Structure 1
Amino acid sequence: MRRIKIPWLKPLNGWRGFLGEIAIIVIGVLLALGAQQAVDTWNWRGEVSEFRKAVDYELSLDLGTYEYRFRQAGCVGRRLDQIEVWLQSSKTGSLPKLLRPIGRPSMLSQYSSVWDNKDNDVTAHLPLKDRLQYAQLYDEFRTINGLKLDERELWRSLADFEYADELNHEDRMRLGGLISRARAINELLNANYPLMIQLASSAGLRPVAVPDVAAPDPAFCLALIPTT
């Protein structure tokens, strides 16, 4: 039986030229991959930078809403003191007429849409330390916002008494409880504010006033009951 010889394939330019061409192709592919990686890195850097700016501004506005409430702390405390004096006077049967509505401290809603709608791919490119710092700030602001909402409901309940001509035992018990709870929230909000400022400062943030917001009602700082 006759054996058929299969000739070895030989590159046109020889093995040295063939290997050189392969090396050029490999280097070209690596350069293309490196260039694409550089472009991706540049694009993500821009995305992260824009995200940081948006989150920093949102958190600064949240600090501004907190500062807005914090500046009313003194008026809140004095108004609660006056309501308590009014409550105590009801025990003697002489309930003085209030000079004005009980009112409530002004409140601004907080912001979180940037963080709540964040792109996970973008946040994945944030350093872990920054992600944790942002998350902590937003968690703290959620707690603060909950306190402010509770406070709003308490003052709405306090306002139910402003037209009362007399208070019975049940009324006094309910009013005393509302005063105590409102004091507790006021104290918490006041105590936490410096801590939030310190936490935000470590992230390079400071309060920014919310645009186009009216000042708190000045009548809330005026006397509620006649002075003796």
Structure 2
Amino acid sequence: MSVRVPTPLHGWRAFIGEVGVIVLGVLLALGAQQLVQDVQMRSAVREFRRTINHEIGLNLFVYQVRTRGSDCNEKRLKELTDWVMSARDGQSLPKIIAAAPMTLSPYRSAWDTRDGDVFAHVPAKDRQKYAEFYDELESNSLIIQKELDEWLQLQRFALPGPVSLEDRRMLYGHVRTARIFNRVWAPNMDISNKIAAELGVKSIKPDTVSDELLKQVAVCQPTFEQPEGKDVAVGSAARS
């Protein structure tokens, strides 16, 4: 028994030609779709980088505001240290102005809501730098919070009155820790500024920050509340 293979209506050559046209059409359609997807992805990457660079610029300004208070903060904490080291049991503690350095809240919504697929299409070197910057941001935010906690502990000494040895030990511990956090700020800023520079990002002032607020940052508050017409004694002069 013989089996006959169906023959195309217009012959094999015409059939193969028709199949080839279909395959070519499918390939062209797939290629066009891929091209559109590539264009859309490149656009998404550009928009992501524009947004994340803006957010980093805002954070650089946040850092600058905190850095402006570092010298004043060190001066105030040193005065507190000098008083504690020279005081004795029963000596009256002047009223402390327990105000931490002014800080602004960091920005990270763009980073926290990033699309993983879009981020994967950012060049590898830049992906690494973005991750490094936000790792530093996390660490710096923790430092700011811990520094604020130390100043909150110092508020218990805002009321003037006699202090004991235990009081002075507690006061010294909080002041020393606050000074450590203040002193690590500058080198940490060098790291973040270097990362931002490698990404080509500069500081951006937030629209919500007024010039009046920045003027307040420039004012260095005294360490102790000074009664009108009197100077608070610090150091060896504080002994009675």
Fold in common (TM above 0.5): yes
Equivalent in the alignment of 1:177? 173
1:74 shift after superposition: 0.7
For 1:185 and 1:103, locate their aligned partners in 2 and report how far apart those are by CA, in whole Å. 15
Deviates more, 1:134-143 or 1:56-65: 56-65
Deviations 1:151-208 (A, max 9, x none): 0111111122122212110010011111110110000112211221111100111222
Equivalent in the alignment of 1:101? 97
Equivalent in the alignment of 1:136? 132
Q: Percent identity?
A: 34
For 1:12 and 1:145, locate their aligned partners in 2 and report how far apart those are by CA, in whole Å. 77
Matching of residue 26 in structure 1 with residue 26 in structure 2: no
**What SS does structure 1 have at the residue aligned with 2:214?**
coil
Alignment check: 8 A CA contact 1:151 1:185 kept? yes
Amino acid at match of 1:215: L
1:78 shift after superposition: 0.8
Would the alpha carbon gap of residues 170 and 219 (structure 1) be closer, same or farther in structure 2, given more than 3 Å must change?
farther
Equivalent in the alignment of 2:163? 167
**What SS does structure 1 have at the residue aligned with 2:100?**
coil
1:130 shift after superposition: 2.1
Matching of residue 192 in structure 1 with residue 188 in structure 2: yes
Report the TM-score when normalising by structure 1.
Answer: 0.89
Would the alpha carbon gap of residues 144 and 218 (structure 1) be closer, same or farther in structure 2, given more than 3 Å must change?
closer
1:88 shift after superposition: 3.4
Equivalent in the alignment of 2:114? 118
Gaps of 5+ in 2: 225-230, 234-240
Matching of residue 35 in structure 1 with residue 32 in structure 2: yes
Q: How many residues align?
A: 224
Amino acid at match of 1:77: E
Alignment check: 8 A CA contact 1:106 1:216 kept? no
Gaps of 5+ in 1: none
Deviations 1:26-49 (A, max 9, x none): 111111110000001111111111
Matching of residue 147 in structure 1 with residue 143 in structure 2: yes
Report the TM-score when normalising by structure 2.
Answer: 0.84
* 2:81 paired residue among 74, 81, 84: 84
1:9 shift after superposition: 2.2
Alignment check: 8 A CA contact 1:62 1:111 kept? yes
Equivalent in the alignment of 1:223? 222
Amino acid at match of 1:115: W
Would the alpha carbon gap of residues 87 and 107 (structure 1) be closer, same or farther in structure 2, given more than 3 Å must change?
same
Amino acid at match of 1:127: P
Deviations 1:68-95 (A, max 9, x none): 1011111101111121233234328654
* 1:13 paired residue among 10, 13, 21: 10
- In angstroms, what is the RMSD of aligned CA positions? 2.2
For 2:223 and 2:198, locate their aligned partners in 1 and report how far apart those are by CA, in whole Å. 41
For 1:57 and 1:218, locate their aligned partners in 2 and report how far apart those are by CA, in whole Å. 23
Amino acid at match of 1:53: R
